[in-house]
Amino acid sequence: MKTKLKEWYHDFIRFPKYILLHPFDGYEEFKRYKKAKLKVAVVFITLFAFFRIFSFQYTGFLINPNNPLDLNSLNEIFSVVLLVFLFTVGNWSVTTLMEGKGSYKEILMVTGYALFPLVIIGFPSVILSNFLTLEEMAFYSLMMLIAYILTGWMLFMGILNIHQYGLFKTILAFIATIVSMSVMMFLGLLFFDLIQQFIAFVVSIYEELSLRY
Amino acid sequence: MIKLITLATILLTAPFYSIASTSYNYSYYGEAIHSAPGMTFAAYINAQTLGATLQSPEDLVVYDDHIYVVDSNVDSLLVIDADFQLVHEFTSFPLSAEYIAAQGIETPVDLTLDGPLGIDVTDSGIFITDPGHYRVVKLNHDYEVVATFGTPDDDTFDPDPEDGEEEGINYEPSKITVDPTDRMYVVAKNAYEGILEINSDGSFNRFTGVNPIVLTPFEIFSRSLMTEDQLAQLQLYLPTEYTNVQIDSRNFIYATSRVSENNAENPIQLINPKGVDVIKKNGYFPPMGDVQYIVGMNNYVIDGPSDLVDIASTDHGIYTVLDQKRSRLFTYDSEGNLLYINGDEGNQSDKFTEGVAIGYFGDDLLILDRGTKTIVVYRLTEFGSYVNRAIAYHAEGRFDDAAEMWEEVIQINTNYEIAYNGIGKLLLRQERFREAMEYFQLGHDQYYYSKAYKEYRNEILKDNFGLIVGAIVVIGSGAIGLKIRNVYKRGGSILYED
């Protein structure tokens, strides 16, 4: 039990923290020594989806503009999954062309691990926001800002390291990833629209026939 | 069985549909929710009840228990008393002796109007805009002409509209309001510079309440790249066109303006004597009439934001605006909270189709309808009077009474969110912070909630100070103790380094 707990602590807290503070060494171990685990990444992504639902409902009354009736957990989960999917697929397709050394699994794991600061800082600060006055809300905003910056930092360093890119190539890869994400979104919407029209067409023919005969 | 349920459902829901006018208000989240009506129909005045001709009434003003109405078709001025009976009906006005003397007129001819659009009455006289003659006419209280004020001396206006030369736009004053020193504030057609401020002797002073156009950085950048020809083809960025003005007892001007693309949330202004808009927008939404509306979709529904054409203010900074587009009245308090929404479009006598002017007659609200040529009188309901009294008590500093009124309001309308804030403020004053917080949460008032919460938190910290310090000491010493124990367990010592 104790070793299991220790292992768990190492996987979920110590190793992500080590990557955060020593990005080059950390991602070296991440990639070369295969210290990263997919289950950790999946757990962090799940926690991030949960965090979005949690913060929608439980951010302090003073800074929560959300109508609780608008909360749709499935929607939140879906948007996180979609975002992660788009980013990983987009990044993979771009970096494959740009001689990136990372595999799809590694990109997915980097994305998951990068959410570590957001999860670890986000939950406490949302809870904290319930105990602050309006003037003290700056602390909450600061904490969330730090969380987002650290997440961005981890993601950036992760992509840089697993693909073994330089600084400018990483920036270029990110821009290309965003472009490819929007292309995928566009194609997806186009596809759904066309399918919808096609189905409507078939349905109307069926109705016409069934009403006639 | 299903039939029975259906029947029951129809029977249960039917009464709700049959209510002629459903009253609503906006919740904090912008949903239109049911509300008790704040005002309701009390009486109507039309040509038949008056025994006068009304063809196109344009403006209405209340002064000293009398209602003054101008009609732009008959070119008449009607004076109606407090019992809604006609006192006078004028189509021409004799010249006063001093006016004849001042102008040096030898054969005095009675003055007539041509399409009057606005009127205001003060202690010093009656002011009527006369756009057909490009002037403002001032009468004394004996309905004799005292003065006429022609085109102001400004480059915007054509100094002599009759001579055929195009030297500017024609001066066509539409709405007018006058301050106690006889300074006139005039809204003129097509004058985008703002409200004209005209001195009591008729000389032009300045434009006031000007809305500067703000371009976004992108617009400035793209404009800097364009040629002169391209710029000329662009749509003109025109500042707000005012629709109506009314001065209040503190010499602040309430003004309504047409909604435009760069002025979507600022159709109501309160212009201070310096010419700056000082209206408060502390409500859930800025005062703008309807918050939710359909954006240009088809020809079957009325779309777009409210088209505010008149504003009337009453005691304690409560003001009402008239939306001509949907025939609705929105009443706000001085903080900008939407108090109640009234009015309904229709041809029945309690409704109106084309409201042009409103005015407070005591606590009653008069709505002048050009469409049905009627003045509709709305009176406060029980609910509305409780709301108004609560605001009045609050303004007078009688917070207990105000809270009592808000309690009554909640009895009638539980969804009335601002009432909870009113009660919360009293609880905060009584240092019942926990309860105050609950009320502010119901009323979505973050500012006061924060204040109440701060005090509440201090209270808890004070009460449990010993406990908190004790807990910190115990946990801290426990942690240190554990560490020491671990050191000794491993065979070390804390007394000296090894």
How many whole angstroms separate alpha carbon B269 and alpha carbon B308? 11
Distance, CA of A40 to CA of A29 (rounded, Å):
15
| pLDDT at residue B356 is higher than 80 | yes
CA distance B461 to chain A (A): 12
B37-46: pLDDT as tens digits: 889 899 899 8
B157-B159-B161 Cα angle (round to 5): 90
Mutation test of the interface with chain B: which of A56, A70, A134, A136, choosing the one with the most B Cβ atoms within 10 A?
A134
Asked if B433 and B456 touch (Cβ cutoff 8 Å), the reply is yes
- Determine whether the interchain pair B441/A61 forms a contact, defined as Cβ–Cβ distance below 8 Å: yes
Q: What is d(CA B389, CA B333) in angstroms, rounded to the nearest whole number? A: 12
B374-395 pLDDT per residue, tens? 999 999 999 999 999 999 999 9
The partner residues of B428 in beta bridges, in order of sequence, read none
pLDDT higher than threshold 70 for residue B477: yes
| Mean pLDDT in residue range A50-55 | 94
Query: CB distance from A133 to chain B under 8 Å?
Result: yes
The DSSP string of B439-498 is HHHHHT-HHHHHHHHHHHHHHHHHHTHHHHHHHHHHHHHHHHHHHHHHHHHTT--SSS--
B28, closest residue in chain A (CA to CA): A67
CA A110-A111-A115 angle, 5° bins: 110
Both tokens of B472, joined, read 């910190």
Interface size between A and B, measured as CB pairs under 8 A: 20
Q: Across chain B, what does the average pLDDT equal?
A: 86
Rounded mean pLDDT, A103-129: 94
Q: Residue for token digits 């768990």?
A: A8
Indicate which of B26, B445, B447, B453 best probes the interface with A, i.e. most A CBs within 10 Å of its own CB: B453
Q: Residue A133 is nearest to which of B29, B441, B450, comparing CB atoms? A: B450
Distance of CA B428 to the CA centre of its chain: 29
Residue with tokens 């009015």: B343
A33 contact B CB<8A: no
The SS3 of residue B271 is strand
Confidence check: pLDDT of B15 > 50: no
- Helical ranges in A22-72 per DSSP H: 23-31, 38-58
Rounded to whole angstroms, how far apart are CA atoms A152 and A148?
Answer: 6
pLDDT grade for B490, boundaries at 50, 70 and 90? confident
Residue in this structure with the two tokens 């106690």, named with its chain if needed: B180
Compute the distance between CA of residue B120 and CA of residue A169 in angstroms, rounded to an integer.
72
The set of residues, in sequence order, having a beta carbon less than 8 Å from that of A57 and lying 6+ positions away, is A66, A68, A71
Query: Which DSSP symbol is given to B345?
Result: B
Domain boundaries, chain A: 2-212
Q: What is the pLDDT of residues B80-99, one digit of tens each?
A: 998 899 998 988 888 888 88
Partners of residue B449 in chain A, C-beta under 8 Å: 61-62
User: What's the rounded mean pLDDT across residues A104-117?
Assistant: 94
A66: closest chain B residue by CA = B29
Over residues A149-161, the pLDDT tens digits come to 999 999 999 999 9
Contacts of B441 in chain A (CB under 8 A): 61
Averaged pLDDT for residues B327-348: 90
Q: DSSP class of residue A183?
A: H
- Could B457 and A131 be called an inter-chain contact, meaning their C-beta atoms sit closer than 8 Å? yes
Mean pLDDT (whole number) for B269-274: 87
Strands (E), B131-274: 135-139, 145-149, 173-178, 184-188, 195-198, 204-208, 242-247, 253-257, 268-271
- Residue B451: list chain A partners with CB under 8 A: 133
Please tell me what DSSP assigns to residue B363.
Answer: T
- Dihedral angle sign, alpha carbons of residues A96, A99, A103, A107: negative
The pLDDT of residue B3 is 63
* Cα–Cα dist B209/B486, whole Å: 76
Rounded average pLDDT over B4-14? 56
> What is residue B18's predicted lDDT score, i.e. its pLDDT?
38
Pick from A61, A67, A135: CB nearest B29:
A67
pLDDT at B16 (0 to 100): 43
Distance CA B417, CA B26 (A): 9
Are residues B119 and B61 in contact, defined by beta-carbon separation less than 8 angstroms?
yes
Best to test chain B binding among A56, A59, A62 (most B CBs inside 10 Å): A62
> Is it the case that residue B2 has pLDDT exceeding 70?
no
Helix (H) or strand (E) holding A190: helix A167-212
Q: Which residue in chain B has the smallest CA separation from A137?
A: B450
CB spacing of B29 vs A61 below 8 angstroms: no
Could you tell me which chain B residue has the CA closest to the CA of A64? B446
Residue B285 pLDDT exceeds 50: yes
Contact B448, B439 (CB under 8 A): no
Is the Cβ of A62 closer than 8 Å to some Cβ of chain B? Answer: yes
| H helix and E strand count, chain A | 9, 0
| Global pTM value | 0.82
Residue B20 has pLDDT above 50, yes or no: no
Inter-chain touch B447–A134, beta carbons under 8 Å: yes
Q: Does A128 touch chain B (CB under 8 A)?
A: no
pLDDT of B261 reads 63
Across the interface, do B450 and A131 touch by the CB < 8 Å criterion? no
More confident residue, B15 or A33: A33
Burial bucket for residue B461 (CB in 10 Å: 0-12, 13-18, 19+): exposed
The identity of residue B424, as a single letter, is: G
Rg, C-alpha atoms of chain B: 30
Residue A76 in this model has a pLDDT that exceeds 90: yes
With beta carbons less than 8 A apart as the criterion, state whether B341 and B276 touch: no
Q: What is the pLDDT of residue B12?
A: 53
* Per-chain mean pLDDT for chain A: 93
Q: Give me the pLDDT at residue B478, please.
A: 95
Candidate from A116-120, B123-127, B212-216 with smallest mean pLDDT: B212-216
Rounded to whole angstroms, the Cα distance separating B129 from B56 reads 15
Q: Please determine, for residue A125, whether its predicted confidence score (pLDDT) is greater than 80.
A: yes
Residue B223 banded pLDDT, cuts 50, 70, 90: confident
